[in-house]
């Protein structure tokens, strides 16, 4: 495995029980000692059903949640110990592509405003003028298969696949090293899924990106990811090279998921 860019060390997250009419409910253990490592430049898949802990782990990586115990390190640095100013700069290097391209883009903003917004937020880090931000937005739109002619348009003028391309362009705007991909194709038609997945592969080859791909779909993960981890009820069940897990799964949970996964046929 390449040198790790992201390390998750025995991370647990417990949510307190909620107060109700008949007392407080039991605490919810969303993550239970999860440990994994993501190498620079690789695609790492995290697979699990709804309620397995995928979202909690993603939010913890983004520091939207604080683990109850354990550590999350980016390039060897414990993210819990980073100052607020350093964390703001670090956020430029860790970006996310959301699941729903219809909900993740502000309908009142133009495409230029949407893509330039992260560059404005991180202007102290990037040091780009307004003209440079517009030029980069045009460049990114071209990179994801659209073009500068789309800068003045609004999200409602695009299809779902095109909106997801815009979401990817926005995530690339502050020049990240790590992209968290939160089910980025699950809301798209199968043919459009193929186009977006192939775009992600092309971008990774061109830009040297690292992907942390969150999904419930093993078939899509098999197509995109070098390694995969399976999570079930907050516990990491199995981890390893994607093909090795598909060919010789070690756990009943992995065997069940693989048996239930539909085949995916995507163009080369």
Superfamily of domain 94-175: P-loop containing nucleotide triphosphate hydrolases (3.40.50.300)
Check residue 266 and give its pLDDT: 45
The SS3 of residue 34 is strand
The pair of structure tokens assigned to 17 is: 């029980």
Check residue 263 and give its pLDDT: 60
How far is residue 242's CA from residue 61's CA, in Å, rounded to a whole number?
A: 22
| Per-residue pLDDT in tens (0 to 9) along the chain, 268 residues | 679 999 999 999 999 878 777 777 888 899 999 999 999 999 999 998 888 999 999 999 999 999 999 999 999 999 999 998 888 889 999 999 998 888 999 999 999 999 999 999 999 889 999 999 999 999 999 999 999 999 999 999 999 999 999 999 999 999 999 999 999 988 788 888 889 999 999 999 999 999 999 988 888 899 999 999 999 999 999 999 999 998 898 888 888 888 876 664 444 4
- What b/e readout covers 132-152, taking b as 16+ CB neighbours within 10 angstroms? ebbebbbebbebbebeeebbe
Angle at 117 between CA 115 and CA 118, to 5 degrees: 90
The pair of structure tokens assigned to 153 is: 């348009």
Question: Positive or negative, the Cα torsion across 48, 52, 58, 61?
Answer: negative
CATH 3.40.50.300 region(s) of the chain? 1-88+178-185+207-268, 94-175
User: How many other C-beta atoms can be found within 10 angstroms of the C-beta atom of residue 82?
Assistant: 15
Check residue 1 and give its pLDDT: 66
CATH class for the region spanning 1-88+178-185+207-268: alpha beta
Check residue 186 and give its pLDDT: 84
List the alpha helices (DSSP H) in 22-64: 54-61
């Amino acid at each position: 495995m390449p040198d790790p860019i992201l390390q998750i060390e025995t991370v647990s997250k417990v949510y307190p029980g909620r107060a109700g009419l008949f007392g407080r409910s039991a605490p919810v253990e969303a993550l239970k000692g999860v440990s994994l490592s993501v190498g620079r430049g690789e695609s790492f898949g995290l697979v699990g059903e709804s309620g397995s802990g995928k979202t909690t782990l993603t939010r913890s990586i983004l520091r939207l949640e604080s683990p109850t115990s354990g550590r999350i390190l980016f390039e060897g640095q414990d993210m819990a110990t980073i100052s607020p100013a350093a964390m703001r700069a670090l956020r430029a290097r860790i970006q996310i592509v959301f699941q729903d391209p219809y909900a993740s883009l502000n309908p009142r903003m133009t495409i230029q405003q949407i893509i330039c917004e992260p560059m404005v937020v991180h202007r102290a880090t990037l040091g780009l003028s307004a003209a440079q931000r517009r030029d980069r937005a045009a460049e990114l739109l071209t990179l994801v298969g659209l073009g500068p002619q789309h800068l003045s348009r609004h999200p409602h003028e695009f299809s779902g696949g095109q909106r997801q391309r815009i979401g990817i362009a926005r995530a690339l705007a502050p020049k990240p090293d790590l992209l968290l991909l939160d089910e980025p194709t699950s809301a798209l038609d199968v043919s459009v899924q193929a186009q977006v997945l192939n775009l992600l592969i092309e971008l990774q080859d061109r830009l040297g990106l690292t992907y942390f791909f969150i999904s419930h779909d093993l078939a899509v993960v098999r197509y995109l990811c070098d390694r995969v981890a399976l999570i079930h009820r907050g516990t990491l069940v199995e981890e390893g090279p994607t093909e090795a897990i598909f060919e010789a799964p070690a756990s009943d949970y992995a065997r069940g998921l693989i048996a239930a996964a539909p085949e995916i046929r995507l163009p080369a």
